[in-house]
């Protein structure tokens, strides 16, 4: 049985006795229990008015952020190599990714052996961002955060908010800039000068020269210090055999990279020779103590759930939620899952690819995002699972289906091979491939009617990132892009269903998690 127990000492005592969280279900693996408002409206204001809570003791959290001037600079590969080197030294290491990306944290997790987390200052307010970071970083020797896109790239491409810089200043982290030097040498210095001066303080404490030869490094190291007073922490030589390939939604998944662990071990050995990791650790240790002021709404929600669980909700058997997890459905936020666990749910994994039925006794299901289009033939061939899910949704089992899970619920899905395959038939029409990203980026979602998650007018934040499109995107929510005059209707939502392209981050409005679990408790198991 696979468990997620790294935070169980924080919350296990809260719910374990009354919910049965952490006990094994009837099928699959079971997890153990363990933002700033811009256009969010009245619901967001309510969340802000309740956020000030009891202060916890500030704690020491050595931490460093690895950023870059632009995407394609080698952040993920260098970050994974550094993580591997730190783990090989026997250090307890936590990892994080700025922004909403799912795939980079999966590579981190392969290295550190536990789930990597997302840090996103669009999804969460500064207080909540610090809380989520501190919870995962507690007890670790070092926390390594990988940036997103270019260091200063934020909302709408025109704001610092939501950028790696925003995360760095929120968590008061020193930053190391990874600069791809392929095709340039001295020209890298004015690039660094601009990044150092664009914001003051920039929080940039050092640089790593990627794609640089051993012979060039000493001169660039000296010039960076003499001209910019910027410390060089080393260089990464060209290692073409360690390149990470990409496809339409980003990098390929870790299990698809041949001999990944062996390659990362080799890269770590290279970096031990070419980077000053001791200095990196020193800089991480200079980060100030971080406050753990927990948002008050979380304690209020936990107390509400304690009372409900003591009253015997869910027929006293404990609440089990079926969680799709396999090669086709693999995009979930660790913090989303743990919030459900904190509030009394046991998450029971199942595979739409290989299992015949949903896990026995579950009262709700989560169809995660992922790559169902790559496995459309296999998913369609598993007719017993398709029928079981279709019947469960039609009977009113509460269901969350985000992006890939939404595609799976259609009548037909076009596979990567261009063939349309029958699917679950819950959402009318076809899901089909396009040649460009659809409605890419952050959004605030406003309910157009009362539904499972939200009452009319209430909001939650999320993001969209998909090349596939639907003949039936839904009209239950209004999606609005921040800082842009663009909005659209999306999502199928009713008292027991959310199905749509947007991926949701529950901590942007934690009450949606409570609402989902309450609906699940009403469903007869």
SS3 111: helix
Residue 442's alpha-carbon distances to 97, 161, 288, 430, in angstroms, are 16, 12, 30, 25
Catalytic, out of 403, 473, 490, 520? 403
Residue 94 backbone phi and psi in degrees, to 5: -105, 150
**DSSP H or E segment with residue 518:** helix 511-522
**Other CB atoms closer than 10 Å to residue 500's CB: what's the count?**
27
Contact 376, 432 (CB under 8 A): no
Instruction: Please identify which residue in the block is written with the tokens 């007890």.
Output: 139
Q: How far apart are CA 363 and CA 19, in angstroms?
A: 14
SS3 272: helix
Q: How many CA atoms, within 13 angstroms, populate the side-chain half-sphere of residue 57?
A: 3
Active site residue 403: yes
**The residue count for the chain:** 525
- Residue 280 structure tokens: 């990196």
End-to-end Cα separation, the chain, in angstroms:
23
Q: How far apart are CA 293 and CA 354, in angstroms?
A: 43
* b/e map 510-519, b = 16+ CB within 10 Å: bbbbbbbbbb
Active site residues: 403
């Amino acid at each position: 049985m696979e468990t997620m127990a790294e935070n169980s000492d924080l919350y296990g005592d809260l719910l374990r006795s009354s919910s049965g969280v952490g006990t094994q279900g009837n099928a699959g693996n079971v997890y153990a229990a363990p933002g700033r408002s811009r256009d969010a409206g009245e619901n967001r204001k309510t969340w802000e008015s309740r956020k000030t809570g009891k202060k916890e003791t500030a704690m020491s959290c050595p931490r460093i952020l690895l950023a870059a001037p632009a995407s394609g600079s080698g952040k993920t590969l260098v970050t994974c190599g550094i993580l591997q080197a730190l783990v090989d030294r026997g250090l307890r290491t936590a990892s994080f990714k700025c922004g909403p990306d799912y795939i980079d944290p999966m590579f981190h997790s392969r290295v550190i052996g536990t789930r990597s987390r997302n840090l996103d200052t669009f999804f969460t307010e500064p207080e909540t961002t610090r809380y989520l970071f501190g919870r995962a970083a507690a007890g670790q020797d070092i926390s390594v955060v990988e940036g997103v896109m270019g260091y200063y790239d934020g909302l709408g491409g025109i704001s610092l908010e939501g950028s790696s810089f925003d995360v760095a200043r929120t968590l008061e982290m020193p930053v190391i800039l990874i600069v791809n030097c392929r095709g340039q040498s001295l020209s890298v210095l004015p690039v660094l000068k601009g990044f150092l001066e664009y914001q003051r303080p920039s929080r940039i404490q050092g640089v790593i020269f990627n794609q640089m030869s051993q012979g060039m490094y000493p001169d660039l190291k000296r010039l960076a210090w003499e001209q910019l007073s910027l410390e060089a922490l080393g260089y990464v030589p060209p290692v073409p055999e360690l390149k990470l390939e990409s496809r339409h939604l980003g990098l390929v998944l870790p299990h698809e990279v041949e001999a990944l662990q062996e390659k990362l071990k080799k890269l770590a050995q290279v970096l031990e020779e070419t980077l000053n990791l001791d200095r990196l650790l020193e800089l991480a240790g200079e980060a100030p103590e971080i406050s753990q002021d927990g948002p008050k709404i979380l304690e209020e929600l936990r107390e509400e759930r304690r009372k409900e669980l003591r009253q015997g909700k869910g027929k006293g058997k404990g609440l089990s939620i079926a969680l799709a997890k396999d090669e086709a459905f693999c995009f979930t936020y660790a913090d989303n899952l743990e919030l459900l666990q904190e509030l009394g749910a046991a998450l029971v994994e199942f595979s739409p690819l290989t299992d015949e039925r949903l896990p026995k006794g579950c009262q709700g299901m989560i169809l995660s995002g992922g790559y169902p289009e790559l496995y459309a033939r296999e998913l369609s061939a598993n007719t017993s699972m398709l029928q079981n899910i279709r019947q469960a949704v039609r009977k009113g089992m509460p269901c969350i289906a985000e992006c890939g899970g939404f595609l799976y619920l259609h009548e037909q899905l076009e596979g990567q091979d261009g063939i349309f395959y029958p699917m679950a038939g819950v959402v009318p029409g076809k899901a089909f491939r396009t040649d460009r990203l659809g409605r890419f980026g952050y959004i605030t979602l406003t309910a157009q009617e009362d539904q499972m998650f939200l009452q009319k007018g209430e909001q939650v934040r999320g993001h969209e990132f998909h090349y596939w499109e639907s003949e039936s995107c839904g009209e239950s929510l209004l999606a609005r892009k921040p800082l842009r005059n663009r909005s659209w209707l999306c999502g199928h939502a009713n008292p027991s269903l959310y199905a749509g392209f947007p991926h949701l981050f529950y901590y942007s409005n934690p009450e949606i998690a409570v609402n989902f679990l309450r609906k699940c408790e009403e469903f007869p198991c």
